[in-house]
Structure 1
Amino acid sequence: MLVWTGVATDTRVLREARALVAAGHTVHVVGRGVPDGFVPPGGVTVASAGRPPAAQTRGRDLTAPERVARWALLPVHVGRRLAAWHAQTEALARRWAAAGGPADVVHAHDFTALPVGARLAEEWGVPLVYDTHEYWVGRPVEGRPAPLRRRREARLEAALGARAAAVVTVGEGVARALRADHPGWPEVVVVHNTFPTRADDAPVASPPRGFVYAGRLAADRELEVIAAASADIPGEVLVRGPADAEWLSRFDPGRARVEPAAPLEVVDAELVAAGAALVTHSDRWPNHRLAMPNKLFHAVSLGVPVVATDVGELGAAVRRHGLGTTYRPGDAADLVRACRELAAGHAEAVARVRAARAALSWEHDADVLVGLYGRLGAG
């Protein structure tokens, strides 16, 4: 497996690796800036290429020239770091293969790993699995728009995806878009970002004591709407996650409490103690309209109902399974209304979420992934 993340907190990569180990495979992962001291699950080994992203903390406000420079140079900076990671990843993968023989499958997570994954799969004569965690061509733009770079990436993704033995993605919305964009691609399989069924079912606070957003803190996440609504949302409002430092320096949280990323067990406890989750993102980008956020499945695994932005696949899933309430994107007053509505019918919402957990569990999605690998072996 190849992934441009630190692996240690990448729940999708680790869940997929564990599922494949449980089915009898061994898994070697090459990540990016893997933390020192990280101990992978049994049957999984991990190598680290490149440096981790810069520390993301609230600091001084950037000056106007500094903001312009950051905006202009970000695509160039990211491109250089990605190219360096590709070179180091290839070298590490070849060294690993020389010691024990090449892999049976190369599993590239997201477009960032796809070019090096395709080269290794071709070199070793083995199947390539492309696991795209989002609709890459429809993702938000960070920094200066780079339309030529994005067009080159789209063409490269189309060409390399066609060489894959299978494509995996996170939800039916992204899968439909990929099938429509690339009719010549192989099978597109949906493996959701669900969480395992929990043996220790902690009681959820009811009525809710507060509302928790647990995810990345950056633009296009509706965090400004949460801040604007925070004075009128019943109970405490907690916003926790890794932050874009420049965005955070300009963010006024209102009454919401902002905290950095924390281990999963800490966030679990906060969600259960609050009794309600905020699952929000904008309606600005195609990827957001197609996405099924990890935050949704995290809350469901704990039996915690949600207030979600009524956007595309996310809003449809909340209504289909009765997971909570929805609000209009960008509308702080409607967010307050949805929070109050959830609080008023909270006990019934908790019961509906618990009833939906069997269909929205990792056990089902792990079977889909393992079945795909079985078909690759048969081929």
Structure 2
Amino acid sequence: MAGDMRVLMIAQSPIAGDSRILREATALADAGHTIHIIGRDVPEGFAIGSGITVESVSRSSGLRAGGGGLSVGHGRRGPKVLAKRFGRWLLLPEHRNRTEKQWRMDATAAVAASGPFDVVHAHDFNTLELAAEFAERWQAVLVYDSHELWFDRALPGRPTPLWRARGRRFEAELAAKARVVFTVSDGIAARLRDRGLADVRVIRNTFPRPDFIPTPLDHPEGLLYAGRVGAGRDLPTVVGAARQLAPFKTVLMGSVDPNYRLDLGTVEVVPERSIDEVDETLRSYGISLVTLTNTCENHRLALPNKLFHAVRAGVPVVAADLPELRSVVTAHDLGTLYQPGNPTSLANAVRALIDSYSTYTAGIRAAADELNWEHDAETLVTAYAELTNTRATA
């Protein structure tokens, strides 16, 4: 088949808030492909752009704590609360798997009714089995987009080593059917290649370059963490460092996980904002926090969105000293590093950045020439052009 292709993207994430999926769909539509996305929690009337349609399949919101759960800065104790938490700890892995399986079952009819397509693009492992089934049924090309090292994530609930081991094998078996595999970092790409996947390409979670970046501050005014406030982000370390750095200001900006408890101390929490508003807020403080716990291989190989948001804003970072983050931060002089879980290390990294602030502002602004979505989108568009050519000569 010659010409551009009809592409089905499948994702269990809330589409309206998934910047990677939105950017990929837009880049492919701009290249002439027609995109249909089946995801979840799509707001009424939500639209992305010309050549892109979106369909929603709902999903259970999961186990809930009684009484509205725990909020940041406030806790509840007692035997009943502890028993409930222990029960959730035991049940969460099974519940999570059932919920994802139920979504796939519910989405099957929508996928069948929407096709056939030339390409089925699976976003993350929890859609890969469904995508592979329909790619085979339609004789379509399968593409796998691994946003995380799926079976090496830090997950709440009891340990599940057998589930993880079986899952890695099953993922490799299914992903081997894909013509191309995308992922978010060189480290995760290497792991996937080690598991037998031949064509793995990196599309980082970068941001489009802004039209204009204002002159940086002469001296930073504070620290800003812009992202989800919840477990795994090493936020207790941020709070501990904030006490050592006071009166230097530390702010967390983002939505708060309903069951997350954190004693804030001097740290302020403000609501999440739009991308452009985050840019402005980052520039007003002058330092971006890119924090993660050192609790799983996925974190050690991750490149969080907030790193690239800081590049877009032209604001240097204090980042967790984890292998993939260290590689990018040091290669481009984006900022300083701290040891996860160590508040004193974080406070010292902030002081070191302040002492060489002009060096790091220059580094992060120079890095914008490479670390941007326009650069990463080329990898995606080029891969799809190869798929188009392959189908044309088949």
The residue aligned with 1:224 is 236
CA contact (8 A) 1:57 1:243 kept: no
Of 90, 104, 117, the match for 1:103: 117
Query: Within 5 A, what are the aligned runs for 1:3-152?
Result: 3-51=11-59, 53=61, 58=71, 61=76, 63-97=81-115, 102-152=116-166
Q: Does 1:211 align with 2:223?
A: yes
The residue aligned with 2:5 is none
- 1:207 and 1:41 map into 2 onto residues whose CA distance is 40
Q: Does 1:165 align with 2:179?
A: yes
Task: State the Cα deviation string for residues 154-176 of structure 1 (Å, max 9, x = none).
Answer: 22201101111111001111111
Alignment CA distance shift 1:53-1:276 (3 Å): farther
Give the SS at the match of 2:36: strand
Number of aligned positions between the proteins? 371
Of 361, 366, 380, the match for 1:350: 361
Query: Within 5 A, what are the aligned runs for 1:224-303?
Result: 224-233=236-245, 235-246=248-259, 248=260, 250-303=261-314
CA contact (8 A) 1:5 1:34 kept: no
Please tell me the residue identity of whatever aligns with 1:86: R
Give the SS at the match of 1:168: strand
Give the SS at the match of 1:107: strand
Alignment CA distance shift 1:143-1:128 (3 Å): same
CA contact (8 A) 1:56 1:243 kept: no
Task: State the Cα deviation string for residues 162-209 of structure 1 (Å, max 9, x = none).
Answer: 111111001111111111122xx2300111111111113244434111
- 1:179 and 1:149 map into 2 onto residues whose CA distance is 21
Of 329, 334, 351, the match for 1:318: 329
- 1:43 and 1:292 map into 2 onto residues whose CA distance is 30
- 2:53 and 2:138 map into 1 onto residues whose CA distance is 20
The TM-score with structure 1 as length reference comes to 0.93
Q: Mean Cα displacement is larger for which, 15-24 or 48-57?
A: 48-57
- 1:363 and 1:373 map into 2 onto residues whose CA distance is 16
- 1:198 and 1:56 map into 2 onto residues whose CA distance is 39
How far does residue 285 in structure 1 lie from its aligned partner after superposition?
1.0
How far does residue 150 in structure 1 lie from its aligned partner after superposition?
2.1
Unaligned runs of 5+ in 1: none
Of 188, 193, 215, the match for 2:200: 188
How far does residue 153 in structure 1 lie from its aligned partner after superposition?
1.8
CA contact (8 A) 2:280 2:313 kept: no
Structural RMSD (CA): 1.9
Task: State the Cα deviation string for residues 236-268 of structure 1 (Å, max 9, x = none).
Answer: 21112333322x2x3112211123433323322
How far does residue 314 in structure 1 lie from its aligned partner after superposition?
0.2
Task: State the Cα deviation string for residues 201-240 of structure 1 (Å, max 9, x = none).
Answer: 2444341111111223232321111011112236321112
- 1:61 and 1:31 map into 2 onto residues whose CA distance is 35
Task: State the Cα deviation string for residues 73-102 of structure 1 (Å, max 9, x = none).
Answer: 1112212221121012221121122xxxx1
Give the SS at the match of 2:294: coil
Q: Mean Cα displacement is larger for which, 197-206 or 49-58?
A: 49-58
- 1:214 and 1:103 map into 2 onto residues whose CA distance is 38
CA contact (8 A) 1:164 1:186 kept: no
